[in-house]
Structure 1
């Protein structure tokens, strides 16, 4: 099997109170920002919009690059045993529309959380994202 590198894309979706939308994943029950793996030939922007729509039903109108994460903090082992180091391209948006839809497969639950009250079962690869987001938001408050 072996360890692989995988390019993934995630989107921080904030409401007007700076609450972040998280999904409870169907594979491991952990909470994380919506996102997923790139398809061949796709841009990171296309991946972001596709993954958010597939996992939440929401349509992104506009987004900005937040950060790129890689290295030891982006190590992930899926429940099926597949092991990856992600190159995680993360966008941020406050501009989106649509109605949230939970497919029950990839996404078991969708909920907005305050940054100082995140759920305990976070995907480990998202922890540096939330740390950076907290610092950035607190800087401007």
Structure 2
């Protein structure tokens, strides 16, 4: 069980500062990787919370693999997002105030495998045809990375 889930047992739905990482993962065709989230029913970038003892780059790498089944390489730090616009309430009522490190990475993998219970679909999109129904966090990341 993860660090945030263990904290949730103690604090319920109260706001938590959640440190995590997200990946801007490109394939050989310069398409960007997205996951369709089971909880919000929106497209988003692969991302997740940091575990104890884990670097933020390792968090990004782990979350990309867990949520999509692919292995990304050549991680490069892009930006750090935090503040009032990074507060979110999940459909189950859990509240977070997120601090998200964003990394760019690349993959040669072609087989995409959604993570049961967390992601329903995984797909690459052309930069000029990104999904329109995306999470607020992902939209903010795309703006910060100057991709939209």
TM-score, normalising length from structure 2?
0.82
User: Following TM superposition, by how much is the alpha carbon of 1:39 offset from its aligned partner in structure 2, in angstroms?
Assistant: 0.9
Q: Compute the RMSD of aligned alpha carbons.
A: 1.9
Residues 118/97 of structure 1: CA separation in 2 closer, same or farther (3 Å cut): closer
Moved over 6 A (4+): none
More displaced 10-residue stretch of structure 1: 74-83 or 95-104: 95-104
Cα distance between partner residues in 1 of 2:85 and 2:30? 24
TM-superposed CA distance for 1:47, in Å, is 1.0
For residues 32-71 of structure 1, the aligned pairs below 5 Å read: 32-71=44-83
- Given candidates 22, 31, 36, the residue that maps to 1:19 is 31
**How many aligned positions are there?**
136
**Residue 95 of structure 1: how far off its partner (Å):** 4.0
Counterpart of 2:4?
Answer: none
Unaligned regions of 5+ residues in structure 1, if any?
none
Distance of aligned partners of 1:29 and 1:67 in 2 relative to their CA distance in 1, 3 Å threshold: same
Query: Per residue, is there more strand in 1 or in 2?
Result: 1
Matched, 1:109 2:121: yes
